[in-house]
Amino acid sequence: MLGLEKKDFRLLLIVIGLTLFAPIILNPFPAGSEMAQFNAGYPDLMQRFVIFGIFAIGFNILFGLTGYLSFGHAAFLGVGSYSAVWMFKLLSMNVLPAIVLSVIIAGLFSFVIGYISLRRSGIYFSILTLAFAQMSFALAYSVLTPITGGETGLQLALDDPRILGAAQTASGNIPVPALFGLEMRASYEMTVGAWAFTFNVGYYLAALILVLSFYMAIRIFRSPFGLMLRAIKSNQTRMSYTGLNSRPYTLAAFVISGMYAGLAGGLMASMDPLAGAERMQWTASGEVVLMTILGGAGTLIGPVLGAGMIKYFENIFSKINSQVLHEWFGFLPDGLENFVVTIIYPFVGKGWHLTLGIVFMLVVIFLPGGLVQGGQKIAAALKRKKTDDANPGASKPAE
């Protein structure tokens, strides 16, 4: 189907299903109940899930396939955001041209940076991309203030031209981003018994784009081009000895992943029309690296899972404070309760980064293939038990 193998098509269907029903799946707890704070089915967070999913899918095309570890991908995301907001300021509040422009600009920008950075490989490549990203961040923060808004960030204003649309609404407000009149922030609320579900327009637009990006990524992974990229990862020297110039391939991968990042940036600006320089900082680049590795670099679904996990923990884990912990462990005797809470407290709430760092280290040390590899290992172990050593050692390689 759609030029995909059966297995890949199934994966695509799973992703479609997950994104389609995310508002329901992510809200398993009734509204108003004690567990409702672990519901992730609100538009803002769901949008972030899919947007960072797109970002991570793009990063994976570079890192997962070619093995080039870029530490500056957030720069493309930032550039995408800025171009989208400029489109809102100058043209109209329609998100379509904004997203298209952000992809194009991020593509051009990544072409320039990739052209220079890819002259080196290994750690030098990482440092070059890091240097470029830090440079863009520093410039966006200081000299380029007329274009980027500097510290305050780029925001919409009432006196923006907006040639094709109204500069302001009838009531004198700044118009909101919309797709041909369909406002991004519009939501449909559905209440089923004690449960409340929110279906948000912006989320579904982003989810549609995620599915398309995921489909594109599968096609790239399975194409001869994708195979070429994997060959570069496994042994670049041999590739060049066979007379193949690998640079056009790596550059293409770099630009594609830069465009994905720009797409994510454009979407981010479409959901909330402002852009700030902090999106380009190298810690932001580090975040997408974390997502991809955590989920499983080089696998199709891994980066999306990693992005979802990190964003979920960032928003939900960090809400757990000592009071919540005391409620949870209230059944324990007082001394023990305090002890347990003291042990757990540093790892939740504001300290969730600590948990993230530890989990990340464990994954890098023990599971270089990420959570997907972990899942495969568990599945293989279960299967082996069932078939009673019918076919030992038949471990599937990470996809």
Contact residues toward another protein (CB under 8 A) are 67, 69, 116, 119-124, 126-128, 130-132, 134-135, 138-139, 141-144, 282-283, 286, 289, 293, 346, 351, 353-354, 356-358, 360-361, 364-365, 368
The neighbouring-strand residues paired with 191 are: 196
CB of 141 vs another protein, minimal distance in Å: 7
Of the pair 7, 353, the CB lying nearest another protein is at: 353
Of the pair 271, 371, the CB lying nearest another protein is at: 371
Of the pair 132, 195, the CB lying nearest another protein is at: 132
* CA dist., res. 150 & res. 154, Å (int): 7
* CA dist., res. 98 & res. 88, Å (int): 7
Of the pair 133, 300, the CB lying nearest another protein is at: 133
Contact by Cβ (8 Å): 115, 251:
yes
The structure tokens listed for 195 are 């449960």
Of the pair 100, 251, the CB lying nearest another protein is at: 251
Q: 3-class DSSP state for residue 173?
A: coil
Q: 3-class DSSP state for residue 246?
A: coil
Q: Residue 66: count other Cβ atoms within 10 Å of its Cβ.
A: 28
Helix (H) or strand (E) holding 200: strand 195-200
Of the pair 31, 135, the CB lying nearest another protein is at: 135
DSSP string, 124-138: HHHHHHHHHHHHHHH
The neighbouring-strand residues paired with 196 are: 191
Q: What one-character DSSP code corresponds to residue 188? A: E
* CA dist., res. 273 & res. 342, Å (int): 41
Nearest CA to 284 out of 143, 397, 137, 90 is that of 137
CB of 144 vs another protein, minimal distance in Å: 8
CB of 55 vs another protein, minimal distance in Å: 18
* CA dist., res. 375 & res. 394, Å (int): 15
Of the pair 16, 144, the CB lying nearest another protein is at: 144
CB of 98 vs another protein, minimal distance in Å: 27
Please report how many Cα atoms fall inside a 13 Å half-sphere around the Cα of residue 132, on the Cβ side. Answer: 24
Contact by Cβ (8 Å): 114, 251:
yes
The structure tokens listed for 324 are 């919540």
CB of 264 vs another protein, minimal distance in Å: 22
Nearest CA to 263 out of 63, 115, 96 is that of 96
Of the pair 125, 215, the CB lying nearest another protein is at: 125
Contact by Cβ (8 Å): 194, 176:
no
CB of 289 vs another protein, minimal distance in Å: 7
The structure tokens listed for 62 are 């570079």
Contact by Cβ (8 Å): 46, 25:
no
CB of 16 vs another protein, minimal distance in Å: 31
CB of 155 vs another protein, minimal distance in Å: 22
CB of 375 vs another protein, minimal distance in Å: 20
Of the pair 127, 201, the CB lying nearest another protein is at: 127
CB of 132 vs another protein, minimal distance in Å: 7
Of the pair 364, 379, the CB lying nearest another protein is at: 364
For residue 68, CA distances in Å to 230, 285, 292 come to: 11, 14, 13
